[in-house]
Amino acid sequence: MNLSVFKFRKNKKLKFLSEAIVFLVGVVIFAAGTGLFITPGRIAVGGFTGISIIINYFTKFPVGTIIIILNIPMFIICAKIFGIKFILKTIAGVVLSSVLIDIFSAFRPFKNELSFELCALFGGVMQGIGLGLVYLNGYTTGGTDLVIWLLKLKFPNVTTGFLLFILDSIVVTVAAIVERDAQAVLYSAIAIFSYTKVLDTILGATDRANLAFIISGRYKDLADRIMQTLDRGVTVIDSRGWFTKESKTMIMCVIDRSQIYTLRSIINEYDPSAFFILADAREVIGLGFKDIVPNNNKKK
């Protein structure tokens, strides 16, 4: 066997192993935060977890099991649109995190010892740490992530943050009505604020997007796959390498931070030897990002 091929396969296995370990650690931390703090405090943090807590309030059915059931229709829809391979990591994240949530919920060692405020704070922080580790390597815990993927196909101009805010607000409002407790909204706000801040810190997230430059002989295949999978526009630029004096074709595209791992996977699949540059974009204005003037209404 060629030595370079052997090294490539070995590095690929080590990469998969390291990603799997980080994923498992992240899922355990996320599930512990949810099962030990969020679920006992009946704190609706938004998303499918919040919906499951509301359903659990009436049925006493395990929260993790409800999360899996709610995600099944989303798996089917997303598999038809994006392909089964695209959501395999999401299925793994949903199933494993949901099972662990039910396991941790069965212990509930802090149920009668911590206030709702502390449950919201520590639960939110642990969820943020766990989700950050899960997201780092392209995994997700399903739920709202899948819903937003579908909504972005219909409303490409609406930001992911705004869609997430709307969905979480609906869940939190319903939870407050069900519990008949206005303070439930405040507890939910503490948890949501905690996990979003920690998540942003781990992912290094800001309002900035990322600008990608890719030089590859398979630029046509890469451009088509990027547009199909990431739903992002691609610009193809003729360029020249001054060292070799050879003409090259370069791909330029702007992506969200959450799409970085997927883009790297696409490039590795089609051309592992491609020249790839990733830079921060301070502000991106245009289709799929922001309008040049927020809430701009043209006068007639």
User: pLDDT of the chain along its 300 residues, tens only?
Assistant: 544 444 545 566 777 788 889 889 999 999 999 998 988 888 888 889 889 988 988 888 999 999 999 999 988 888 888 778 778 888 888 999 999 999 998 876 655 667 888 889 999 999 989 988 888 777 788 888 788 777 877 776 666 657 777 888 888 888 888 877 778 788 888 888 888 888 877 766 545 678 899 999 899 999 999 988 887 889 999 988 888 888 889 999 988 777 887 888 899 889 988 999 988 776 677 666 665 554 444 443
Which residue type, as a one-letter code, is found at position 252?
M
Residue 104 and residue 197 in one domain: yes
Residue 65 and residue 186 in one domain: yes
State the pLDDT at residue 292. 54
Which residues 6+ apart lie within 8 Å of 214 measured at CB? 222, 250, 251, 252, 253, 267, 274, 275, 276, 277
State the pLDDT at residue 137. 72
The crossing angle, in degrees rounded to 10, of helices 260-270 and 219-230 is: 150
Domain that includes residue 256, residue range: 209-281
Q: d(Cα 272, Cα 265) in Å, to the nearest integer?
A: 9
Q: d(Cα 63, Cα 53) in Å, to the nearest integer?
A: 6
State the pLDDT at residue 126. 94
Residue 144 and residue 22 in one domain: yes
b/e map of 34-60 (b: 16 or more CB within 10 Å)?
bbbbbbbbbbbbbbbbbbbbbbbeeee
Which residue type, as a one-letter code, is found at position 156?
P
Residue 156 lies in a domain: yes
Residue 297 lies in a domain: no
Structure tokens at 206: 């800001």
Q: What is the CA radius of gyration of the chain?
A: 22
State the pLDDT at residue 296. 47
Residue 286 lies in a domain: no
**Tally of structural domains, the chain:** 2
Place of tokens 């396969």: 9
Residue 91 and residue 30 in one domain: yes
Residue 20 and residue 127 in one domain: yes
Residue 158 and residue 50 in one domain: yes
State the pLDDT at residue 5. 46
Which residues 6+ apart lie within 8 Å of 156 measured at CB? 231, 287, 288
Residue 64 and residue 183 in one domain: yes
Residue 31 and residue 175 in one domain: yes
Residue 226 and residue 175 in one domain: no
Residue 287 lies in a domain: no
Residue 178 and residue 251 in one domain: no
Select from 174, 203, 232 the last residue of a domain.
203
Select from 153, 172, 203 the last residue of a domain.
203
Residue 187 and residue 45 in one domain: yes
State the pLDDT at residue 72. 93
Residue 295 lies in a domain: no
Place of tokens 């592992």: 272
What count of other Cβ atoms lies within 10 Å of the Cβ of residue 176?
18
Residue 176 and residue 238 in one domain: no
